[in-house]
Structure 1
Amino acid sequence: MAGLFDKQAEIYVDTRPTNPAHWYSMLASRTPLHSLAWDVGTGNGQAALGVAEHYDQVIATDVSVAQLKCAMQHPRVRYVHTPIPISNDEIMTLIGGENSVDLIMVAQAVHWFDLPNFYSLATRLLRKPGGVIAVWCYNDVEVSPTFDPVMKRFHDTTLPFWDPNIKHVFDGYKNLPFPFKSVCLGCESEPCPLDIPKQLSFEGFLRMLRSWSAVATAKEQGVDLLSEGVVRELEDSWGGPDLVRCIVYKAFMLAGTV
């Protein structure tokens, strides 16, 4: 997936949902120590900034230089480029060594990883006992009864252009391999369902759609999924270009410990 999101890096900053602050409080309450957190696949650093309120230091890594150039700065966050290929030993040195990390988190990215290798690395890095790994994502957006069916029809047109790894997102991480002892997040189901509210204008929503990797892939293949007619239909069902709506991203999270 290296380079898959480089072209949309600037769009990510202002269109992707902001994870609620209480998520980070919830995760911090599950780790007895709060020295070091590792945000893997940090993108523009949104999650890194959120968790920095609870940990002394956050190391935020990404394979994309373009994404890191858009990252938001914070005195307790250190951004590190981890190019492909990079060895596990190099990452161990960058992050802090065996049993050094209190919280490892991956927002909207773990399904792109070489999971056996990443989980092996995470197991070595996590503090024992007490270190927690949390992965989360979202796979749907709720806007209104009028807009949602139109959005579904558009989403269906994107299906041939997604990377195969996106299957784990579509099934809500229910079949994502996750070889860790479950950490209770205060809900009965696993993965734990969570909502992310966000205020967006139609233009903001459209920019979010244009940041989808499937939309970019289709365009590279000569297919414009967001043609003028499609955009007009989406805009009409939204309620017009000037209407700002409160939308809800439907998210889910897995958390575990060694």
Structure 2
Amino acid sequence: MIAYEVAGNGPPLLLLHGFPQTRAMWRPMVPALTNRFTVVTADLRGYGQSGKPAATQDMSFRLMAQDMVALMAALGHHRFHVVGHDRGARTAHRMALDHPDAVLSLTVMDIVPTEHLLTHMSTGIAKAYYHWLFLAQPFPFPETMIGHDPDAYFERCLLGFGKASLEDFDPDLLAEYRSAWRDPACIRAMCDDYRAAIEIDWDHDRNDLSRKVTCPSLVLYGEDGAMAHLLDVPATWQDRLSDMRHTAIEGGHFFPDQSPKATTDALIKFLTSL
């Protein structure tokens, strides 16, 4: 079961959140988009109000992408624009590779390709993104540690990937995130998401190194984020996207929360230019 909301009129636009958030993250941006697009926001499997798979292999980006293609088809949208932040961006990238006929355009927010991140895991990257390795540890170690104080752990995640403070996050949205991540089934699913990235998705991406996303693509990233400090983010995408544009947005990894207007403006500029 995939939880979702629909608003607006116009070409279909799918918005996918990342870790450790839910579809609520897009709420500040949706009003400015609904004048031009039919906006669909959805919780990834394992997150928010969507179903919680019981096995690591059920949390791959390939299956997350299939969920969303099926959801959009059920809503009558067989071709659509997709925008993703964090895990949602990785899902969107996999979707553009596996379902090129469905994806009109791809926007990824503050990620480098999964294969690149894991293959070139430097000391700096491992320190900044330690959660990739912690969450991927065998069940139930990370689940047990996080379960003692989910708010403390996940709020640290919101603040730990580049410039951010709790005041950057809308209090009502924070309350929704807390409600979701306090659920032990959600904690387990999020850990399985990161286990799957190493155990499943890495192989999928290595097998697809010769393939490029062919639709128009936009790479957005936080100018103060950990990845921007450690890597040339657009360069990591150069040989993976056939038609790429890129823009840095003020803020860290969670720049959509910190700079929603600038993020929305960049999206509208890109999408209306196509």
The TM-score with structure 1 as length reference comes to 0.35
The two structures have a TM-score, normalised by structure 2, of 0.33
* Structure whose CA Rg is larger: 1
- Higher fraction of strand: 1
Q: Which of the pair is proportionally richer in helix?
A: 2
